[in-house]
Amino acid sequence: MLIAGDISSVELTEACLRRIEATEPYLNAFISVSAERAMQQARSADHAWVEWRRGKLTQQPSRLNGIPLAIKDVLCVADITATAGSRMLEAFMPAYDATASARLRAAGAVFLGKTNTDEFAMGSSTENSCYGPTHNPWDQQRVPGGSSGGSAASVAAKSTFGALGTDTGGSVRQPASLCGVVGLKPSYGRISRFGLIAFGSSFDQVGTLTRTAEDAAILLQTLAGPDTFDATCVPTQPPNYLDSLSEPSDLSGLRIGIPNEHFVGGVDAEVEKQVRAAIKLLAKLGAEIMPIRLPRTEHALPAYYLIANAEASANLARYDGIRYGQRQHGKDLWETYVNTRKTGFGPEVKRRIMLGTYALTTGYYDDYYLRAQKVRTLVKQDFDTAFDQVDVIAGPTTPTTAFKLGAKTEDPLQMYLSDIFTLSANLAGIPGVSLPCGMDENRLPIGLQLLGPAFKEKRLLKVAHKFQLATDWHQQDPLVEN
């Protein structure tokens, strides 16, 4: 409609801003809304479309030109605060765009605002934000998942057409599952991390939250690709993620592996039932289903929390009140550090810094950090063996549907367990996608997770797209007005 001029970006952006205004009082999905700038971007996007229709441009604008999007508040957008959900960065104003933001900007996308997140992306419920929790549009008494909870909730509430998130251990896929939207975590190295506020640098990856797999493919096409500002970003050009979506072929010849280890360990009966039904549907679409084993699954969680926290303790050392963030003066430099960090960080961030620092100390390094790294290799080998036999792995994204606000805040281990099926993909660096595949008896969304070998996003997106053509779970409405 934008290309044809049947709708304008100004109209789309106004509609999104109205929706945000109506839903924010009870969702709290945004940390900041940049309405004025969004309208400016919308006007210039409309101008580009007009020029295109008049034949004044040699190249058609990107299909994202004029599309309103939201960005998780751990990614930098020039001249808009990037808080990471932390008091520490309440007033931090980046001077430049993250590469992911810059690529969307260059494509002509409209930035509605920055979405709520657990502090420094540490959490699974968006309750660890200094701006208060985000609520799940399907049931306001429940969490949206996390840490990209604001992004997932705003997409589910239809306040935006898509959003950026980040996934260190599941933070795109888990909230996507709990909010009934599509969450794509690409392979480590597929999208530049430049301008992303670091948590666990060997896991962190930018991802997308959208209503459909097709939208995820469109966003990935713009975001993926080499970047000289991030040495861990792979130098190879991405494939065309969209061409295979329109192929009429079914899933014949595709082998899908079902790991028994992803159907144990506190999986709700209703979640298991719906995910198994989704797998049956994939078989009906032509895929061959076979059992596989991921025997190190149970060791992934402790290994992840050791390595991620060790990396976090190093990454967060920079917040000392001198160069970044808020400063609480003391009588000397040491006291300034102490006061700044005492008041700037919330309890979960402090817990992680302490655990991570401990795991790295002389005497414990070998027992904890080094052993965790060895387990990481074993987890990766599990996937290598599995992908010798199958093309895709399928299972539930999360053991349960959205839980009640406050239900797990007192028990960090229970909170950590909600990532049990997502974090091994981060240990191995492989891509994963979560897509809506059913509802439980409380009408809460259930997510199907598909995992693939490194850099096979295209395969995952095709399977997800075929699944969405055959189902309508992604078209259900959360009735946010209730």
Q: Which of the residues are catalytic?
A: 72, 147, 171
Q: Contacting ligand GLN (CB under 6 A), which of 8, 23, 28, 124? A: 124
Nearer to ligand GLN, 176 or 282 (CB): 176
Q: Contacting ligand GLN (CB under 6 A), which of 122, 176, 256, 390? A: 122
Counting contacts by CB under 6 A, is residue 171 touching ligand GLN?
yes
Counting contacts by CB under 6 A, is residue 115 touching ligand GLN?
no
What whole-number distance in Å separates Cα of residue 185 and Cα of residue 173?
Answer: 7
Cα 391 from chain centroid?
23
**Residues 292-321: x/- map of binding to ligand GLN (CB under 6 A)?**
----------------x-------------
What whole-number distance in Å separates Cα of residue 176 and Cα of residue 144?
Answer: 8
Q: How far is the CB of 346 from ligand GLN (least distance, A)?
A: 13
Q: Contacting ligand GLN (CB under 6 A), which of 108, 133, 150, 169? A: 169
What whole-number distance in Å separates Cα of residue 263 and Cα of residue 272?
Answer: 7
Counting contacts by CB under 6 A, is residue 123 touching ligand GLN?
yes
Size of the site for ligand GLN (CB under 6 A): 14
- 208 CB-near residues (< 8 Å, 6+ apart): 162, 163, 164, 165, 172, 182, 183, 184, 215, 216, 219, 220, 223
Counting contacts by CB under 6 A, is residue 29 touching ligand GLN?
no
Counting contacts by CB under 6 A, is residue 419 touching ligand GLN?
yes
What whole-number distance in Å separates Cα of residue 33 and Cα of residue 111?
Answer: 9
Nearer to ligand GLN, 30 or 416 (CB): 416
The DSSP annotation for 104-172 comes to HHHTT-EEEEEE--SGGG--SSS-S-TT----BTTBTTB---SSSHHHHHHHHTTSSSEEEEE-SSSTT
Environment class of 91 (CB within 10 Å of its CB; exposed 0-12, middle 13-18, buried 19+) = exposed
Nearer to ligand GLN, 139 or 419 (CB): 419
CB 457 within 8 Å of CB 184: yes
Nearer to ligand GLN, 421 or 467 (CB): 421
Q: How far is the CB of 166 from ligand GLN (least distance, A)?
A: 6
Q: How far is the CB of 281 from ligand GLN (least distance, A)?
A: 28
Residues from 78 through 107 that contact ligand GLN (CB under 6 A): none
Nearer to ligand GLN, 66 or 169 (CB): 169
Binding segment for ligand GLN among 4-12, 168-176, 240-248, 286-294 (CB under 6 A)? 168-176
Q: Contacting ligand GLN (CB under 6 A), which of 149, 162, 170, 452? A: 170
Q: Which residue has the tokens 């599952």?
A: 177
Binding segment for ligand GLN among 47-55, 164-172, 270-278, 358-366 (CB under 6 A)? 164-172
- 369 CB-near residues (< 8 Å, 6+ apart): 306, 307, 310, 359, 360
Counting contacts by CB under 6 A, is residue 121 touching ligand GLN?
yes
Counting contacts by CB under 6 A, is residue 168 touching ligand GLN?
yes
Q: How far is the CB of 337 from ligand GLN (least distance, A)?
A: 25
**Residues 361-400: x/- map of binding to ligand GLN (CB under 6 A)?**
----------------------------------------
Counting contacts by CB under 6 A, is residue 147 touching ligand GLN?
yes
The DSSP annotation for 194-256 comes to TTB--SSTTT--EEEEESSHHHHHHHHHHHBS--TT-TTS-SSPP--SSGGGG----STT-EE
Counting contacts by CB under 6 A, is residue 205 touching ligand GLN?
no
Binding segment for ligand GLN among 3-11, 163-171, 375-383, 441-449 (CB under 6 A)? 163-171
Q: Alpha carbon of 419 to those of 125, 187, 262, 400: distances in Å? A: 11, 17, 11, 10
Question: 420 in helix, strand or coil?
Answer: coil
The DSSP annotation for 52-103 comes to HHTT--SSPPPTTTT-EEEEETTB-BTTB---TT-GGGTT---SS--HHHHH
Q: How far is the CB of 418 from ligand GLN (least distance, A)?
A: 7
With residue 184 as reference, give the H or E element that holds it.
Answer: strand 182-185
Binding site for ligand GLN (CB under 6 A): 121-124, 147, 166-171, 199, 308, 419
